[in-house]
Every structure is written in structure tokens, then in C-alpha cells.
Structure 1
Amino acid sequence: MIRHRCPRSAAPLFAAAAGAYAANCALGASVAARIIDTSGFRWMHHALYIATCATSAAAVVTGLVSPAPAARNAALLLMPAAVPLTVIARVGARTRRHPLIALGAAPFLLAAVIRSRRPDRK
């Protein structure tokens, strides 16, 4: 018999997704402002993007299977962030649309983090 253990809290996954997203935005903005030159390690931006997508997906799945209503609600709030995170992969990095599309995920990540940290009402 396989027993599945429910995590005590999904909040750390939502925080990790938001942290990876924030780090990726900070790196992208620094490169765009020519503060940082990533010509030697361009893979870093891609690695942070993959980390953002992976932790966001893990947070959604964990939140949806969690018995806690706050985690389920946070997962539902985070799900729309998949749209800009998917579209951004198809938009050129040197276009004006790239940062605007990337910022489209911010409200969903922020709302999910806030909701995941709020205690459930009984």
C-alpha cells in the first residue's frame, strides 16, 4: 500500500517560486540596464527561468493536493501565471514586449505568496 503524505505547509514552495522569479527579474533588469554583463554566463537567466517554472508548477500541484484551503486557494491564484511564463519563452529577449510579458506573472505570484501565508479560518 502506498501512502501519500501531505506537506504541512505549501507556503515555502510559493515563496521559492516568487524568489526565483524575483531573482530572474533582477538579473534581467540589470542586464538591460547594462549593470551586469552576462556574456560569460548567459545560461544563468535561463536557469532562473527554469527554476521559476519548476517551483511554480510544484507549488500549484502541492497546493491543489493539500488539505489546507489556503494552499488550494494560493494554487488557484498562481495558475494564471503560467500564461506569461509560457509566452515569454516565445518572445525575443531584446524586444520591448519581453519585460512587459515577464512582469505579467508578478501579480499572480505575489497574490499566491500572500494567500499561502494567511492562516485558514475555521
Structure 2
Amino acid sequence: MMWGSRRRRTSAAPLFVAATVAYGANCVLGTAVATRLVDTRNFRWLHHALYIATCATTAAALSSALWGRPRRVSRRAALALLPAAAPLAAIPYLGSRSIRHPLVALTAAPFVIAGLVRSRRTDRK
């Protein structure tokens, strides 16, 4: 195997994993509450804490465009994740009782997954 073709992940791959896990946990909890499988009246803060964790880990993963190595893989992963910032920023303004809240939240999913996949891609150059 030549050194140039060796498989390399971005150094920020754990941040993309953390952002994906936080987003997924938030979606699972939100779905469980919406379908009344879970009652969060006594710990409503949990969904908010997961949302904050999702935003913080997403921002950290996006910052890898500036410092992550290999640079090309890090930048492509961050660019794939970047569109998720818009629905994440809009969610607090949509209210939680309408259908808009989960629909807008789910629009981030393809970008979160794309960022995760890109962060784990190989560097061919």
C-alpha cells in the first residue's frame, strides 16, 4: 500500500459522530414525546439540553473546516454539514405544538448524515 492512498479520516471525525448522536437522541426523544410513549412533564429540560448539545456539537464539527486534518476531508465534511445549521437555528422559533417543528427538525437529517459520512471518507490525495 502506498502512503498516498492510505485511508485517513479527518481528525474531527469524533465531533461529527457526537453531532450525529446528539441529533439522533434529540429526534428519538422528540418522537417518543410526540407519540406519547414518554411523558416529559417532569423533565422537559432534557429535550432542551439535547437541542443545545446538538447545536454545540454541530458548531464544533463545522469549525473543523478551519483546523481539521486532512484539510480537504475536513472541509468537505463541514460543507456537507453546513446546511443543517439553518433548520437547527429555526427550530426555537417554530413552536413545539405544530407540525412545522418536527418537519423542519428532520430537514437537518440528510446534512447531519452527509457530514458524518464525509468525515469518515478516505483521503486519496
- TM-score higher than 0.5 here? yes
Aligned-residue offset at 1:66 = 1.8
- Structure number with the bigger relative contact order (C-alpha 8 A, sep ≥ 6) is 2
Aligned-residue offset at 1:9 = 1.1
Paired residue for 1:121, among 112, 120, 124? 124
Q: Under a length normalisation based on structure 2, what TM-score does the superposition of the two structures give?
A: 0.89
RMSD: 1.0
Unpaired runs of at least 5, structure 2: 1-9
Counterpart for residue 16 of structure 2: 14
Counterpart for residue 100 of structure 2: 97
Paired residue for 2:91, among 68, 81, 88? 88
Counterpart for residue 4 of structure 1: none
Counterpart for residue 5 of structure 1: none
- Residues 54-81 of structure 1: CA deviation (Å, up to 9, x unaligned): 0000001023322311111000111111
- Mapped contact 1:64–1:75 kept (Cα < 8 A): no
Aligned-residue offset at 1:29 = 0.2
- Mapped contact 2:15–2:61 kept (Cα < 8 A): yes
- Mapped contact 1:88–1:101 kept (Cα < 8 A): yes
Counterpart for residue 44 of structure 1: 46
Give, in whole Å, the separation in 1 of the partners of 2:93 and 2:79: 24
Aligned residues: 115
Give, in whole Å, the separation in 2 of the partners of 1:14 and 1:64: 15
Unpaired runs of at least 5, structure 1: 1-7
Letter in 1 for 2:77: A
Letter in 2 for 1:121: R
Q: Under a length normalisation based on structure 1, what TM-score does the superposition of the two structures give?
A: 0.91
Give, in whole Å, the separation in 1 of the partners of 2:66 and 2:77: 9
Give, in whole Å, the separation in 2 of the partners of 1:117 and 1:62: 13
